[in-house]
Amino acid sequence: MSECNRVSAPEPAPTIPAAAAHTMLTCFADLSNQVPAAHRHLHFSERVAEDRSTQFFITVNRQRPRLYDPDEPPAIVTRQGRVEDWTIENRSTEVHAFHLHQLQFVVVEEYGKRTHDPALRDTVVVPYWDGKSAFPHITVRIDFRDPETVGTFLYHCHVLDHEDGGMMAKIRVLPR
């Protein structure tokens, strides 16, 4: 048989590997009903400086108020795998919007009353203090169970002037 009459066998079709078994993410699963491993208290506050500018703070209770400094250590350190409740109180006469990077949360309480809102958020408004009543506050439940949550992230007031004025801090999430 001459070269030109030879027929080569067709190349085998490429095989596509079977998809890995999909595992259900536990991140955010039934978050409203999870039992928190910790309950933290934070508050928004303001102070007029000597130069008459306003300084803005987001402070973990029992820590000293401080303006955001990227060289400072994180105000909060936690571990991946946890669920935590954070109560955020507004001790100022301006509205503040609590915002958390990289993570989401559900609002579980407003002014001490349980909510039934399963919406995942990364920002929630904390109303202003009227100067007479109890400080307005909300409680959020944050899910650190996703392995992607390891690292250092920011939380702050989402009102740009307040954030720029120092109302920001860091949280570090350590591996399990």
Report pLDDT digits (tens) over 79-97. Answer: 999 999 999 999 999 999 9
2: pLDDT strictly greater than 60:
no
Describe the chain by its helix, strand, coil percentages, rounded to 5. Answer: 10, 40, 55
State the pTM of this model: 0.83
Q: Which two tokens stand for residue 52?
A: 């008459």
Rounded CA separation 116/16 (Å)? 45
- State percent of the chain over pLDDT 90: 76
Residue 14: predicted pLDDT: 58
Tell me the residue type at 167: M
What is the phi/psi pair of residue 142, to 5°? -110, 135
Which residue would you say has higher pLDDT here, 67 or 5? 67
24: pLDDT strictly greater than 90:
no
Report pLDDT digits (tens) over 118-133. Answer: 999 999 999 999 999 9
Q: Which CATH code is given to the segment(s) 27-174?
A: 2.60.40.420
- State percent of the chain over pLDDT 70: 84
3: pLDDT strictly greater than 60:
no
